Amino acid sequence: DQQVKQNSPSLSVQEGRISILNCDYTNSMFDYFLWYKKYPAEGPTFLISISSIKDKNEDGRFTVFLNKSAKHLSLHIVPSQPGDSAVYFCAARNHYGGSQGNLIFGKGTKLSVKP
């Protein structure tokens, strides 16, 4: 059973508009969340993270929102640029348990930003 779900396999957005990528999780023990971006033929690169003690973290055009009660997080990119076109992975981490520190990834959402 998937613990981290990205239910939209793809998203298309016009340049300059906001991109919103969503992620849901089922394990209430997750307390640290990350977003990675992946271009074709490259490995995932870290984008932004958020701890469960916060509900928002912002870094330039990228903002991650966390709603713990809904077990939902989202990544907002504004304004979107063609260079943002990539696959975005949501990942979560459980501070406790035998696999402490292991990242659990979603399947990814492919974002296409149209000029």
Partner 1 sequence: ETGVTQTPRHLVMGMTNKKSLKCEQHLGHNAMYWYKQSAKKPLELMFVYNFKEQTENNSVPSRFSPECPNSSHLFLHLHTLQPEDSALYLCASSPGRDYQETQYFGPGTRLLVL
Residues 76-95 that bind partner 1 (CB under 8 A): 89, 93, 95
- Which residue type occupies 65? F
Select from 61, 71, 107, 110 the one that contacts partner 1 (CB under 8 A): 107
Query: How many CB atoms are located within 10 Å of the residue 106 CB?
Result: 23
- Residues contacting partner 1: total by CB under 8 A: 26
Shorter beta-carbon distance to partner 1: residue 67 or 102: 102
Q: Is 62 helix (H, G, I), strand (E, B) or coil?
A: strand
How far is the C-alpha of 82 from the C-alpha of 13, rounded, in Å? Answer: 9
β-bridge mates for residue 51, sequence order: 32
Q: Which residue type occupies 107? A: K
The reply on whether position 35 binds partner 1 by CB under 8 A is: no
Per CB under 8 A, 30 contacts partner 1: no
- For partner 1, what does the binding mask look like between residues 38 and 77, x meaning CB under 8 A? ---xxxxxx--x-x--------------------------
Write down the residue that tokens 């966390």 correspond to.
66
In whole angstroms, how large is the CA radius of gyration of the chain?
14
Name the residues that contact partner 1, by CB under 8 A.
2, 4, 32, 34, 36, 41-46, 49, 51, 89, 93, 95, 99-108
